[in-house]
Amino acid sequence: MWETYLKNVRTLIVDDQDFIRSLLRHILGVLGCQQITDAESGAQAWAIIRDNPPDLLIADWEMGDMDGLELVKKIRNDPASPDRFMPIIMITAHSERPRIITARDAGVNEFVMKPVSAKTLFSRLNAVIEHPRRFVRTGEYFGPDRRRKRIFVDYERRDTKKKEDVKAVDAVNKEMSQDEINDMLNPDAADSEAAVIEAEAEVKT
């Protein structure tokens, strides 16, 4: 079922490292994707998107002339964007809580930590396709609904003791696990564990 669906999904991979692009191509191919295009920069990806928008974007955060975050903002907010509702999965080697919040607030659908595994990528694809969040506009923000349960430190509180403040800052800057990131972005969504396990088994064979 998934292979049948994914083979018709036009996917654009954006990363400035050849190895990562090749790895993502391989994983997506194993999962059933057949229509895959790649770009080595945000600027190149934006040109591709304007000319022939994909159904799904997988983009690295840290790149040269236009990084992944800038690309996400252009897709969500630029009047020239051909598809402001495009599903976007961002990948990065850094997962500190403020960065995840920044990516979420730019309009990212899902977030995947490096090194990328087939199981993790499949679970985020499953979340985007099977449990899509509705899009909303609130002030200057346009993107997936961010109204989720609160799991991060309240920056506005000033009535705690100094030691507690230091611990709070450390907690904020601590790198999050993939499960914590998933919970922040989709705390109410249950991934299909059977589907994820099946996909992982296929990759190993």
- Report whether pLDDT(8) > 80: yes
Average of per-residue pLDDT across 1-25: 89
- Report whether pLDDT(11) > 60: yes
Ramachandran region of residue 107, left (φ > 0), alpha (ψ -120 to 50) or beta? Answer: left
> pTM of the prediction?
0.74
Average of per-residue pLDDT across 131-137: 87
Note the pLDDT of residue 189: 52
Span 2-204: which CATH code?
3.40.50.2300
Note the pLDDT of residue 193: 42
Note the pLDDT of residue 127: 87
**Residue 171 vs residue 199, higher pLDDT:** 171
Q: For 60-104, how does the pLDDT look when each residue is reduced to its tens digit (9 = 90+)?
A: 999 988 999 999 999 999 999 999 999 999 998 887 888 888 988
Q: In 10 A of CB 70, how many CB atoms?
A: 16
**In whole angstroms, what is the distance from residue 198 CA to residue 96 CA?**
30
- Sorted by where each begins, the domain ranges of the chain are 2-204
Yes or no: say if 100 and 69 are a contact pair by the CB < 8 Å rule. Answer: no
Task: Tell me the three state secondary structure of residue 119.
Answer: helix
Yes or no: say if 14 and 58 are a contact pair by the CB < 8 Å rule. Answer: yes
Alpha carbon 155 to its chain's center: 24
Cα within 13 Å of Cα(83), Cβ side: 15
- Report whether pLDDT(165) > 60: no
Yes or no: say if 86 and 53 are a contact pair by the CB < 8 Å rule. Answer: yes
Yes or no: say if 78 and 34 are a contact pair by the CB < 8 Å rule. Answer: no
**In whole angstroms, what is the distance from residue 59 CA to residue 98 CA?**
19
Strand pairing class (110-113; 88-92):
parallel
- Report whether pLDDT(51) > 90: yes
